[in-house]
Structure 1
């Protein structure tokens, strides 16, 4: 139906998430990543306050990121088995590119925080669409690290939240098409 990636509908209809552990080089270089982020920033934003931030974790910072995650994980789980710590290490080093998307709501603004948080989610989704449009795949992960105050503090403030870790690269294998919801179950018409 939509297999020509040169049309906007085809891009939207064919975007799939890639498992970050299956995303390999080549990944976007810094100019491509900045272009993706410029597209991501073109998100609905009631009040024009940009209640989100993007933090690029460069390749040369992945070891430091892994050390941060390991320290935070051990602080929360002092008896963590070695296999868990190996998983933390693997998380930090997957995919060629990593962007941490922060939800940075302005609590003093008239726009409700909920709307600002939705805008952060839309910015993350726009980043995934931009990656796909540029020939890459992306995976959006959260997990315990997104909710760890220690990890959050390494990227932002107590007023912010990690919306997600977005990993971008080239799929090492064909992306799976996941089951989609039955549209009759999720779409209805209001009857008044």
Structure 2
């Protein structure tokens, strides 16, 4: 039994080494999706910043323990990290448990990352749920980026550097998000919306 376990462990570690090229890209995309710096991910995962940097640049073959720590910090299953290969079929279902969720400090805003990690550098999309009075504050993204907010239920107030616009159920608001902006839930009911970010939009360059 011991030999069998050791053999299986060896197969897993060998597989991790084979996938290390894709692993680095996956870790980097997830980190950027959470807007985490290398230092912040190192602090949350317990993996040295230099090691994470080497993984992202595909300069090292991480151990299974290291991959596990990173997967926990990035809120994704270890299977999800290791399975992210280029030859995987496009038909792909992501479980609720593997869908990253961010919650504001006051608990009023929930931001679900439903976008594909492969597109995070140029296209991102999210589900927003905000109780009345809840606000999602964001710093400016990359120059030329455009945010598209489609309200499903409730009402939102969008403030882009002092310019304010209201968006009601069934409406979509597009605005430059390369400057500080705030989305507030101002209706009497919970705001439910979908937000799509087009990064470095060529139309504005």
* Structure 1 and Structure 2 fold alike (TM over 0.5): no
Q: Which one has a larger percent helix, Structure 1 or Structure 2? A: 1
Structure with greater strand share of residues: 2
- TM-score, normalised by the number of residues in structure 1: 0.26
